[in-house]
Structure 1
Amino acid sequence: MLLAPGERATGARDAKTDAQAYNRSMASTKSSAPLRTITTDVPARLDRLPWSRWHWMIVVGLGTVWILDGLEVTIVGNLSDAIKGPDGLGLTSADIGLAGAVYVTGSCFGALLFGQLTDRFGRKKLFILTLAVYLVGTVLTAFSMNPLYYYAMRFLTGMGLGGEYAAVNSAIDELIPAKYRGRIDILINGSYWLGAAGGALLTIPLLNPELVPAWLGWRLCFALGAVLGLCILFVRRNVPESPRWLFIHGREDESERIVTDIEERVVDQHGGDLAEPDADITVKQRRTISLARVARTVFRDYPRRTVLCLAMFIGQAFLYNAFFFTFGDTLQTFLGVDQTGVYIALFAVSNFLGALALGPLFDSVGRVRMISATYIVSGVLLAVAGLVLGDLTAWTLTFFGMVVFFVASAGASSAYLTASEIFPMETRALCIAFFYAIGTAVGGISGPLLFGRLIESASSSGDITGIAVGYYIGAALMIGGGVVAMFLGVGAERRSLEDVAEPLSAQDAREG
């Protein structure tokens, strides 16, 4: 057993006076600490906390990385003409689609690589490392001198952000109380669109040759993304390791100290006493878990949940990567738009407002109903947009996109929420990475390539209806994902992660 409640408070006060000594001690002993079977109430203590300033720090420190991803994708979409021009890299529309596919391929590779490292070495080490990889990639992209170098840097940048999805989603879900987990996860994933709006508006002055030389403007767009990344890195230093990860990996004392410190901060803000934790869990500690055990867990123990996640990720990945990666190119090629920043900013704001407005319903109405509704409704609306595509102007196409993706945004975000909460804790980051990589490889790589080819083929005739087939495919995949969720969805709202999926270490302790 771990410390009793009364002993925890004393331990926390002592920890404040000898924090440096403790950290030195933990650094020297954490890798050699003996593994035991322990009983702990750490998950219940985290889940029963009221919302506090500390939780907002977690949201800012971890969640704002999605703003970076939105910034990256939007900048590339808006820079299509600049990169294709004489002051750019001489790319074609098909090359722009290829660059998007290379970026997504890097994201898949980074997710798989860093996902398994996150489960093995901890959330904090990896969400620092993956952000550093992103920063290096996006800065180096600004110095692109030829298409091959540009593709390589897009791959590296994608690696960093793909790794972020696994590391950050794991940490967020393990630190946020159960009753807020759905709305916060969807809001954080939806913050991607704040970056998209910012990126769209940022390109307006930077791509104005009267303000910034043409050869320099598009390069500054990439370099300025690193500024936001450095700010996030500064905040992220204060985010602790996941206490859930710590006690499973033989570092229960460190887990206790972190949770006690969080409790004291919450009490200082709200006053009064916290409710007593209502559950505990017994686990057999472990250092690592084999990939074979992960595979058995995902495919043998949870086959229905595996099918659910694949359907959700493939649908949303194709929809977003196909439509949004090439939206700017579509406006410029067929509808005579020179500056796409305002159009994409409006589209992005609608996406964020959708996540903000619909996110709380995933905790109140429930996961299954909301996932099914957002996927099916957005798919039907996209199919309608494809049918009337030939009659749309730049503004009406943007309006259609705003309506479709107001609904789709919450649904797409729920894919990450679902994968991060319905599998055992020891497999969480790798499961997120796996479904992200497979879904994105099927939908996210094929989507930009298909749309790039469709745009290039239809541009010779100037007939925008030539790209409608891409809309129909995206609509079918989204509707299919919603139907799958109706039958295979998991009602995880307001439930502890350990209740939704029993940790493998708890299974080992019970069987032992």
Structure 2
Amino acid sequence: MDRLPWSRWHWMVVVGLGTVWILDGLEVTIVGSMSAALQPEDTGLGLSSFDVGLAGAVYVAGACIGALFFGQLTDRFGRKKLFLITLGVYTVATVLTAFSMNPTWYFACRFLTGAGIGGEYAAINSAIDELIPKKYRGRVDVAINGSFWVGAAGGALLTIPLLDPTVIDQAWGWRLAFGLGAVLAIGILVVRRHVPESPRWLFIHGREDEGEQIVRDIEGQVSEDTGAPLHDVDETITIRQRKTISLALIARTVFTQYPKRTVLCLSLFIGQAFLYNAFFFTYGDTLGEFMGVTQVGYYIAVFALSNFVGALVLGPLFDTIGRVRMLTGTYVISGVLLAITGLTLDSYTAVTLTLMGCIIFFFASAGASAAYLTASEVFPMETRALCIAFFYAIGTAAGGIAGPLLFGKLIEDATTGGEGISAIALGYYIGAALMVAGGLVAAFLGVKAEGRSLESIAQPLTAEDDAPPAAGEDDRSAQPVH
């Protein structure tokens, strides 16, 4: 898989798997942009500014739990089975959100929607990294994770007509927005059905015949698409196949064999989770409460597009300049700029604050996307999905739940106390400190994974394993895999 040239088949994988981040961006933006529409008792749900932050925190909590729950199932039952199930969970929960009749129902649906998206992160990142050639893995992963912002921009623009009382009744506009997210998910499900299971996962779990057939089919399609013969395989590895691998073995591997990589991933995820979830979940509320903006969709759309451009422009540099330098640079630069913004908050208008956000998050979006890339490639294949889920859950719980709650409380206190926008600067300072800290950790503990196969970055747990099988494990004969 690593030696294959880029082809139309790889684009199918990108579209089928990568578009889930568009859904996530759509979800987050709808909540952020429609905070004003959800607050009235008659047409909305009677939510306060704190409730808006709480809704964001509940969504993130669901994503954390969903990532852990579905992540371990992904390593156990396969990538494809789980990325179909998790998309189904998201779709049903989004439809139910559109029928919310009170805050409790709304919060419960936000939790379930988050659970589906969290499970997607684990299943999708695992599948992408195992199907994309090593030469392109960094830029593809960063760009795909950055596509979150395509959904964010689309969601922001979508809310403009849906929140216009001259276009649609305000009691129905926000409900339609959630329903349209489900329609997009169904379209993605149709494409995703054609994405195969990871041959790496199949082989390690004793299903080598299926894996070999998938690889032959992919090689034939790629050769046909490119019109060129494929060169021979130059790397081999011998593994001992097992149907199941215990959680105890996985935990022991992550925390004792790779402790520095564990610290690295936690630092990256906590920093980006606080920065994004704190700033973006409440940005619409910030513009409305402090700057009198009634249609925040335009501002959020511009902000979102700058994030996607950052991931596209800077993504290839993770494969050329390298993971360590780019992670350090993007985290530190965005953190320093955010701190400067916090110091000068009183001087901004809605336009200038949005433009400053565009500059900050141009760098931050590439770094945040690369956090998922790092977690998915620096640990053994058998632990990949669960590691992504673990770091996403821990980092996001620390930054993504606390962030929206803190910003929601700061905004509410500032408005009731008659204070200005500078009252929320504390959230900016915390986010800046966490981002700079993550960048410094990457400088010292980062892994130079560019241009390397996944197996050379972290050898599979089953590689060249001549020891007797551990208790409860189904041992198979050692097999060479190319």
Normalised by the length of structure 2, the TM-score is 0.96
8 Å CA contact 1:111–1:166 kept in 2: the answer is yes
2:24 aligned partner, one-letter code: D
> Who is 2:120 aligned against?
164
Larger deviation, residues 455-464 vs 336-345: 455-464
Alignment of 1:47-446 (within 5 A): 47-86=2-41, 87-446=43-402
Where 1:50 maps in the other structure, the secondary structure is: coil
2:421 aligned partner, one-letter code: I
CA distance in 2: counterparts of 1:101 and 1:466, whole angstroms: 21
CA distance in 1: counterparts of 2:463 and 2:84, whole angstroms: 29
> Who is 1:480 aligned against?
437
8 Å CA contact 1:283–1:509 kept in 2: the answer is no
1:137 aligned partner, one-letter code: A
CA distance in 2: counterparts of 1:272 and 1:191, whole angstroms: 31
Offset of residue 506 of structure 1: 0.5
1:305 aligned partner, one-letter code: R
8 Å CA contact 1:282–1:509 kept in 2: the answer is no
CA distance in 1: counterparts of 2:152 and 2:244, whole angstroms: 38
> Who is 1:41 aligned against?
none
2:428 aligned partner, one-letter code: Y
Where 1:276 maps in the other structure, the secondary structure is: coil
1:49 aligned partner, one-letter code: L
Offset of residue 209 of structure 1: 1.1
> Who is 1:38 aligned against?
none
2:400 aligned partner, one-letter code: G
Where 2:4 maps in the other structure, the secondary structure is: coil
Offset of residue 269 of structure 1: 1.5
Offset of residue 287 of structure 1: 1.0
CA distance in 1: counterparts of 2:223 and 2:430, whole angstroms: 52
> Who is 2:449 aligned against?
492
8 Å CA contact 1:267–1:273 kept in 2: the answer is yes
Offset of residue 182 of structure 1: 0.2
> Who is 1:5 aligned against?
none
CA distance in 2: counterparts of 1:367 and 1:326, whole angstroms: 31
> Who is 2:423 aligned against?
466
Task: Give deviations 1:50-88, integer Å, cap 9, x for gaps.
Answer: 000000000000000000000000000011010001310
Query: Where has structure 1 moved over 4 Å in runs of 4 or more?
Result: 509-512
8 Å CA contact 1:190–1:351 kept in 2: the answer is yes
1:323 aligned partner, one-letter code: F
CA distance in 2: counterparts of 1:309 and 1:485, whole angstroms: 9
CA distance in 2: counterparts of 1:382 and 1:507, whole angstroms: 48
> Who is 2:465 aligned against?
508
Where 2:37 maps in the other structure, the secondary structure is: helix
Where 1:82 maps in the other structure, the secondary structure is: coil
Where 1:84 maps in the other structure, the secondary structure is: coil
1:464 aligned partner, one-letter code: I
Task: Give deviations 1:210-262, integer Å, cap 9, x for gaps.
Answer: 11101000100100001110010000000000000000011101111101111
Offset of residue 510 of structure 1: 7.7
> Who is 1:28 aligned against?
none
CA distance in 2: counterparts of 1:510 and 1:266, whole angstroms: 38
CA distance in 1: counterparts of 2:464 and 2:185, whole angstroms: 39
Which residues of structure 1 form unaligned runs of 5+?
1-45
Offset of residue 289 of structure 1: 1.2
Offset of residue 272 of structure 1: 2.7
Which residues of structure 2 form unaligned runs of 5+?
469-477
Task: Give deviations 1:296-352, integer Å, cap 9, x for gaps.
Answer: 001000000000000000000000000000000000000000000000000000000
Offset of residue 507 of structure 1: 4.6
Larger deviation, residues 489-498 vs 265-274: 265-274
CA distance in 2: counterparts of 1:272 and 1:393, whole angstroms: 56
1:101 aligned partner, one-letter code: A
CA distance in 2: counterparts of 1:196 and 1:138, whole angstroms: 16
Where 1:285 maps in the other structure, the secondary structure is: strand
2:88 aligned partner, one-letter code: A
CA distance in 2: counterparts of 1:73 and 1:181, whole angstroms: 26
Corresponding pairs, count: 467
For the aligned residue pairs, the C-alpha RMSD in angstroms reads: 0.9
Where 2:244 maps in the other structure, the secondary structure is: coil
Offset of residue 291 of structure 1: 1.1
> Who is 2:474 aligned against?
none
> Who is 1:14 aligned against?
none
Percent of aligned pairs sharing the same letter: 71
Task: Give deviations 1:262-305, integer Å, cap 9, x for gaps.
Answer: 11111111123111110111110011111111110010000000
2:414 aligned partner, one-letter code: A
Where 2:277 maps in the other structure, the secondary structure is: helix
> Who is 2:471 aligned against?
none
Larger deviation, residues 289-298 vs 48-57: 289-298
CA distance in 2: counterparts of 1:191 and 1:71, whole angstroms: 11
1:318 aligned partner, one-letter code: F
CA distance in 2: counterparts of 1:104 and 1:290, whole angstroms: 28
> Who is 1:15 aligned against?
none
